[in-house]
């Protein structure tokens, strides 16, 4: 069964600095998708970035980028120029491709604190 | 475009009471899901549906029931509420295909006392 592991329950970073959140996953599939979701104090789940496993190029969305290492089954999120609004719980997630039962599997989350 | 709408946002139940959490989406998504979120545990799948009339159990289905009579609606029923069901509940929907992430509702915080 697929699993997603986030080994850092909490992290802190100084405002304007860069922080990297770690995620590893386990799968026997070759084609899948990986996601990072953000959950601010409002509780709303927001999709931050997605990565397709068959694409070697790392996805980027403005200040958010990923380091996708398929062989190592690693999918870290880098946040550059951290802002107070980045404070949230971040969930790494996995989904198989094009399958009737392709539910998203979530990690347990990393709570990110931004220090002013 | 409302997306996924969940009601209520907050609810307190007494042990043994029943209630239905409502979920409606207006994006014509076939796939719909119910998750619960407990502190430090991430999101656990309760039930899901791949289309009207089709539902299936997820990881933690005990104590819950669902139905999917229309594409838009996917209510979650709690029968005989127990303190272990105190949690935040999220409904989500997606298009067919692995690359489609979920669109989430805003969640329901349920407390059973």
pLDDT tens, position by position, A41-96: 999 999 999 999 988 899 999 999 999 999 999 999 999 999 999 999 999 999 98
Angle formed at CA B59 by CA A67 and CA A27, multiple of 5 degrees: 35
pLDDT tens digit string along A97-108? 766 667 889 999
The yes-or-no verdict on residue A5 having pLDDT over 70 is: yes
Put simply, the answer to whether A98 touches B43 (Cβ < 8 Å) is no
Closest chain B CA to residue A48? B101
d(CA A111, CA A10): 5
What pLDDT shows up at residue B85? 96
What pLDDT shows up at residue B53? 94
Measured in whole angstroms, how far is the alpha carbon of residue B14 from the centre of its chain? 20
Put simply, the answer to whether A45 touches B58 (Cβ < 8 Å) is no
What pLDDT shows up at residue A101? 66
d(CA B21, CA B57): 17
Which residue in A33, A45, A96 is closest to B104 by CB distance?
Answer: A45
Write down the mean pLDDT value for chain B: 93
Is B82 at the interface with chain A, CB within 8 A? no
For the residues A14-27, what does the mean pLDDT come to?
97
d(CA B5, CA B71): 14
- Contacts of residues B54-60 at CB distance under 8 Å and 24 or more positions apart, as own/partner, are B56/A101, B58/A103, B58/B33, B58/B34, B60/B36
Put simply, the answer to whether B102 touches A104 (Cβ < 8 Å) is yes
């Amino acid at each position: 069964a697929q699993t997603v592991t986030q080994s850092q329950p909490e992290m802190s970073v100084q405002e304007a600095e860069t922080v990297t959140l770690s995620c590893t996953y386990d799968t026997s599939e070759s084609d899948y998708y990986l996601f990072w979701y953000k959950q601010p104090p409002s509780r709303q789940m927001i999709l931050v970035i997605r990565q397709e496993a068959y694409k070697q190029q790392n996805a980027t969305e403005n200040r958010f980028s990923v380091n996708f290492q398929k062989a190592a089954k690693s999918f870290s999120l880098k946040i550059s120029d951290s802002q107070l609004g980045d404070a949230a719980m971040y969930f790494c997630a996995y989904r198989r491709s094009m399958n009737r039962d392709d539910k998203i599997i979530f990690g347990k989350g990393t709570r990110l604190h931004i220090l002013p | 475009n409302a997306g996924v709408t969940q009601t209520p946002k907050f609810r307190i139940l007494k042990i043994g009471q029943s209630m239905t959490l409502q979920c409606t989406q207006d994006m014509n998504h076939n796939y719909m899901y119910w998750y619960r979120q407990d502190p430090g545990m991430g999101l656990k799948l309760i039930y899901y549906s791949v289309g009207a009339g089709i539902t299936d159990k997820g990881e933690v289905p005990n104590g819950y029931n669902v139905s999917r009579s229309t594409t838009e609606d996917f209510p979650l029923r709690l029968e005989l509420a127990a303190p272990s069901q105190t949690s935040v509940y999220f409904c989500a929907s997606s298009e067919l295909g692995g690359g489609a992430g979920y669109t989430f509702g805003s969640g329901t915080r349920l407390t059973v006392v």
